[in-house]
Amino acid sequence: MFITELLLVAILLSLLMLYLLRQFWFRSHYPSGWLPLPATGSLWKAGIRLYQETLSKQMKEQSGTSKTSVTPYSSIFNDDGGELLKQQKEIGQLILLKHEKEKKGKEKKGVESLVEEEAPRLVETFARVNGQPFDPLNAIIASLCKMVWTVSFSDRSPLEEKDSQQLTDAIESAVKSGGSFVYALHKQFSWLMKYFPGPQKNALSSKELVLSFTKKMIQKHKEAKAMKEPQDFTDFYLSQMEKSKGGQNTIYNEENLAECIFNFLISSAESTAITLQWALLLMASHPDVQDKVHKEIEKVLGSSNAISHQDWKKLPYTSAVIHEIQRTKEAFLFRIIKQCTKDMNIFGFLAPKGTFINPDLNSVLLDPKLWETPEKFNPSHFLDKDGQFVAKKEFQLLTGESDGSLEDKLARAASFTFFINLLKIFVFKLPEGEKKTSEKTRIGLTTCPHSYKICAVPHHKTS
Residue 191, in any domain of the structure: yes
CB 27 within 8 A of CB 35: yes
Which residues does 186 contact at the CB level (< 8 Å), separation at least 6?
193, 194, 198, 200, 203, 204
Question: How high is the pLDDT of residue 271?
Answer: 79
Residue 8, in any domain of the structure: no
The CB density around residue 389, as the number of other CB atoms within 10 Å, is: 17
Question: How high is the pLDDT of residue 310?
Answer: 78
Q: What is the pTM of this model?
A: 0.78
Nearest to 436 by CA among 252, 303, 213, 281: 281
Residue 2, in any domain of the structure: no
Which residues does 307 contact at the CB level (< 8 Å), separation at least 6?
116, 119, 301, 417, 420, 421, 424
Span 359-388, pLDDT tens digits = 667 777 888 888 999 989 999 999 999 999
Torsion over CA: 305, 127, 177, 437 (sign): positive
Residue 68, in any domain of the structure: no
Beta bridge partners of 340: 65
Span 31-81, pLDDT tens digits = 555 555 544 445 444 444 444 444 555 545 544 444 444 444 443 333 344
Residues of the chain with pLDDT under 50: 38-41, 43-54, 59, 62-81, 334-335, 401
Instruction: Determine if residue 67 is left, alpha or beta; phi over 0 gives left, psi from -120 to 50 gives alpha, anything else beta.
Output: beta
Domain count, the chain: 1
Question: How high is the pLDDT of residue 387?
Answer: 93
**How would you label 84-115 residue by residue, b for 16+ Cβ within 10 Å and e otherwise?**
bbebbbebbebbbebbeeeeeeeeeebbbebb
Question: How high is the pLDDT of residue 302?
Answer: 84
DSSP conformation class of 52? I
CATH number at residue 341: 1.10.630.10
Torsion over CA: 112, 117, 118, 123 (sign): positive
CB 335 within 8 A of CB 399: yes
Expressed as residue numbers, the domain containing 134 is 78-458
Residue 35, in any domain of the structure: no
Please state, in angstroms and rounded to a whole number, the distance separating the CA atoms of residues 92 and 404. Answer: 9
| AA letter at 366 | L
Residue 33, in any domain of the structure: no
Q: If DSSP states are collapsed to H, E and C, what string results for 77-115?
A: CCHHHHHHHHHHHHHHHHHHHHHHHHHHCCCCCCHHHHH
Residue 45, in any domain of the structure: no
Question: How high is the pLDDT of residue 47?
Answer: 45
Residue 37, in any domain of the structure: no
